[in-house]
Structure 1
């Protein structure tokens, strides 16, 4: 787990710690019998937390909810899916075609090759197609793999995130 936490960008890790501390203080007060007291939360946190429920795409577009989701994935030891997806997004937005081969190799080595440090779970066919695409890297050579991981997160991780205790408790606090 320590290695996973070290790989998180420090700003996101700090934000995840802040959210955890804030949520912890809310839950602690709840257990202390102070349920009737309202706790002031920053408006941006309230708005961002409500967007978590609208769609997975909304979650990915907001820094705060993305950090909360990353912290959740880290707690479930599946942060590599989000890291891969974000690396692919960055790759797709690469302006210089000269940088594509080096970036593609880095993504392949970190996420796709067998026993990669953050290997994502891709079927054999998707891996084969992706490896073939890497022979001539373009901004869309990871599209199939990125799509599969996005779908996995949207259909599996995101619903579990919404059902998580932290998310449910936060929703109750916001509704209350």
Structure 2
């Protein structure tokens, strides 16, 4: 039966404290890897704005068979910048590729968001996909990105910086 920490010799307690400090420092260093600009790769936005970070994240998602979220997010970024006269065609393309229930790369969005997108397809504007894009970004940030940070794909990217 455990008698508690008070029964351990003080030298053991001191050693345990030292190890705890070293391990916490090691964990902090691992999770705050920096790129060449000094920005941490702990931030999804930094990775998405870095050519090598984006490629590594894409490769990681492909290895998990979940790259559709990133591809949707990127398509929405391009859509926001497309000329008004091309918005309807581009919106329709994004909808059929990522939102439609029969889509090859259907993203995981709630029914309310899908319904709002369906209604907006008649007269799309620059912000048509904004809410859906934010939901997918949030999903990547909370789900895929933490796994990416622990992956070999991330470690290789950090070495490349």
User: What TM-score do you get using the length of structure 1 for normalisation?
Assistant: 0.66
- Deviation at residue 103 of structure 1 after TM alignment: 0.2
Unpaired runs of 5+ residues, structure 2, are 1-33
Q: Distance in 2 between matches of 1:109 and 1:169?
A: 35
Relative contact order higher in (CA < 8 Å, ≥ 6 apart): 2
Cα separation, partners in 2 of 1:76 and 1:120, compared to 1, 3 Å: same
- SS of the residue corresponding to residue 115 of structure 1 reads coil
1:149 corresponds in structure 2 to 136
Question: Does the 8 Å CA contact 2:35/2:41 hold for their aligned counterparts?
Answer: no
Aligned length: 127
After TM superposition, the structure 1 stretch with the greater mean CA deviation from structure 2, 133-142 or 72-81, is 133-142
Question: Does the 8 Å CA contact 1:84/1:120 hold for their aligned counterparts?
Answer: yes
User: What TM-score do you get using the length of structure 2 for normalisation?
Assistant: 0.72
Question: Does the 8 Å CA contact 1:87/1:107 hold for their aligned counterparts?
Answer: yes
- Deviation at residue 71 of structure 1 after TM alignment: 0.3
From 57, 76, 92, give the equivalent of 2:64. Answer: 76
- Deviation at residue 50 of structure 1 after TM alignment: 6.3
- SS of the residue corresponding to residue 101 of structure 1 reads helix
After TM superposition, the structure 1 stretch with the greater mean CA deviation from structure 2, 62-71 or 161-170, is 161-170
- SS of the residue corresponding to residue 47 of structure 1 reads coil
1:114 corresponds in structure 2 to 101
Give the number of the structure whose alpha-carbon radius of gyration is greater. 2
Unpaired runs of 5+ residues, structure 1, are 1-44
After TM superposition, the structure 1 stretch with the greater mean CA deviation from structure 2, 111-120 or 162-171, is 162-171
- SS of the residue corresponding to residue 136 of structure 2 reads helix
